[in-house]
Amino acid sequence: MINVGVIGLGTMGNTHLDVYAKRQDVKVCAISDVDPKRLSGEARAKGNIEGQAQGGFDLSSVRRYDDGIKLIRDRDVQLVDICLPTPLHLKYALAALRAGKHVLVEKPLARTARDAERLVRAADKAGTMIMPAMCMRFWPGWTWLREAVVTGRYGRVLAAHFRRVSSHPGANHPLYGDGKQCGGAILDLHIHDTDFVQWCFGMPRAVFSSGYRRHTSEVDHVMTRYDFGPDGPMVTAEGGWAMAPGFGFTMQFTVNFDQATAIFDLAAKPALSLCRDGQREPVAMPDGMGYEHEIAYLLDCIARKTPPSTVTIADGARSVRIVEAEAKSVASGRPVKVKS
Ligand SMILES: NC(=O)c1ccc[n+]([C@@H]2O[C@H](COP(=O)([O-])OP(=O)(O)OC[C@H]3O[C@@H](n4cnc5c(N)ncnc54)[C@H](O)[C@@H]3O)[C@@H](O)[C@H]2O)c1
């Protein structure tokens, strides 16, 4: 049994609590939020997409802290789950590592690439495990794609396009309404696809991005071409929350292999299909969302005393670095090299 403490009881804190509630190998022993209504359970955050933050857990017997540092000092807590606004990830993850706790930290790993590097250095010295919650590396359908890419089952990838777009969560939202806090959609939303591109194809040599601001001081809608050299695949991704209210949320990919084309569309039934030999066939996927698979994976790593390898802290930092290059490219209108 692993004892977990969750800091930040917003959309993601509640989504992770839903996952823990369904498992036998983990006990939520402490929670923390600066908002007294969220801490008491009087107010519960809702999800942005279907399936997030269902509220299916009982918090009557957990210890409650109005300060995340107090939760980190709780001797019973073995795993600290950080679901805080992005600029706070660094402070609380560093404190948790220094206190000898395992850490799950929501994406993006940190608000800036420099902060992310500080975490990588701290993790190197720590005797505990830390994993960034890059949930697309665990998402049903997306894990299938990654396997198809690395095994070459349908030949090499000629082209891949990823798309993740939504309406904006609202100007008054303390995190998503403030570009300084969230980093705009380019860091908050689009990083999922940047990270997935990195996972499938490695570090791009350069990025060439267009984008614009709409709701925050940062890029709220971006289109990026990732440069993998003249012999590499043609890879693009679009991400943003600049769609009109009522649009909702969608995530999609179209990946063109030598011998087949794979299509994922969250709104389609089935979501994943494969075109080859003149047919379009559905592809079966495991149930659930990436969150439950990602948490199951980390708990298993802790139980087996084996550091996570599906996503590492260095991967999380590299994704923030690529996104910063994309933002620079938007600002300059030119391709920007990415440090490998
Ligand atoms: N993996 C995903 O798909 C996904 C989806 C949404 C958000 N996120 C990420 O998760 C993080 C949290 O996002 P969210 O949507 O849950 O935000 P949120 O605003 O819904 O929740 C943040 C919570 O943290 C609390 N808080 C703020 N400062 C605190 C402090 N010092 N100590 C304790 N509590 C504090 C707030 O009161 C709030 O309840 C962000 O980094 C975001 O990018 C990831």
Residues 140/288, Cβ–Cβ less than 8 Å = yes
Q: What pLDDT is recorded for position 275?
A: 98
Q: In this structure, what are the phi and psi dihedrals at residue 28, rounded to the nearest 5 degrees?
A: -80, 115
How much distance in Å is there from the Cα of 261 to the middle of ligand 1?
36
Which of 105, 106, 166, 195 for a ligand 1 pocket mutation test, highest count of atoms within 8 Å of Cβ?
Answer: 106
Residues of the chain with CATH 3.30.360.10: 137-290+320-337
The pLDDT of residue 53 is 64
Half-sphere exposure of 130 (CA within 13 A, CB side): 33
- The answer to whether residues 85 and 175 touch, using CB atoms and an 8 Å cutoff, is yes
pTM: 0.96
| Residue 107 CA, ligand 1 centroid: distance in Å | 10
Taking the centre of ligand 1 as the mean of its atom positions, its distance from the CA of residue 164, in whole angstroms, is: 20
Strands 2-7, 26-32: parallel, antiparallel or unpaired by DSSP?
parallel
Residue 60's pLDDT is 82
| Ligand 1 centroid – CA 138 distance (Å) | 20
Measured in residues, the chain has a length of 340
Tell how far the Cα of 13 is from the centroid of ligand 1, in angstroms.
7
Q: Exposed e or buried b for every residue in 305-337, given b needs 16+ CB within 10 A?
A: eeebebbbbbbbbbbbbbbbbbbbbbeeeebbe
Distance of alpha carbon 153 from alpha carbon 144, whole angstroms: 11
User: Which is the CATH superfamily of the domain at 137-290+320-337?
Assistant: Dihydrodipicolinate Reductase; domain 2 (3.30.360.10)
What gap in Å lies between CA 25 and CA 299, rounded to an integer?
A: 8
Alpha-carbon distance 127 to 85, whole Å? 26
Q: Whose CA is nearest to atom 25 of ligand 1?
A: 8
Distance from the CA of 277 to the center of ligand 1, in angstroms?
46
Pick the CATH number of 2-135+292-310 from 3.50.50.60, 3.40.50.300, 3.40.50.970, 3.40.50.720: 3.40.50.720
Secondary structure, 3-state, 80-127: EEECCCHHHHHHHHHHHHHCCCEEEEECCCCCCHHHHHHHHHHHHHCC
Residue 146 Cα to ligand 1 middle (Å): 28
What residues are in contact with ligand 1 under a 6 Å CB criterion?
7-13, 32-35, 38, 45, 68, 83-86, 88, 106-107, 133, 135, 174-175, 188
From CA 97, how far away is CA 128, in angstroms rounded?
7
Given the CA of residue 89, which atom of ligand 1 is nearest to it? 41
Which residue from 21, 251, 296 is spatially nearest to 145, judged by alpha carbons?
Answer: 251
Distance of alpha carbon 133 from alpha carbon 19, whole angstroms: 13
Contact 3, 76 (CB under 8 A): yes
Looking only at Cα atoms, what is the longest distance across the chain? 60
Listed in order, the ranges of the chain carrying CATH 3.40.50.720 are: 2-135+292-310
The pLDDT profile of the chain, 340 residues, written as one tens digit per residue, is 999 999 999 999 999 999 999 999 999 999 999 999 999 988 887 766 666 667 767 788 899 999 999 999 999 999 999 999 999 999 999 999 999 999 999 999 999 999 999 999 999 999 999 999 999 999 999 999 999 999 999 999 999 999 999 999 999 999 999 999 999 999 999 999 999 999 999 999 999 999 999 999 999 999 999 999 999 999 999 999 999 999 999 999 999 999 999 999 999 999 999 999 999 999 999 999 999 999 999 999 999 999 999 999 999 999 999 999 999 999 999 999 999 8
Q: How far is CA 98 from CA 9, 101, 108, 119, 127, in A?
A: 23, 8, 21, 11, 9
Helix, strand, coil share of the chain (percent; to 5): 35, 25, 40
Task: Take atom 38 of ligand 1 and give the residue whose Cα is closest.
Answer: 10
- Residue whose C-alpha is closest to residue 138's, from 197, 82, 196: 196
Pocket test for ligand 1, best of 31, 32, 34, 42 (most atoms within 8 A of CB): 34
CA distance to 200, 268, 317, per residue, from 308 (Å): 17, 32, 15
Stated as kind and residue range, the H or E segment containing 224 is strand 221-227
How is residue 304 written in tokens? Answer: 């087996």
> Please, are residues 23 and 47 in contact by the beta-carbon 8 Å criterion?
no
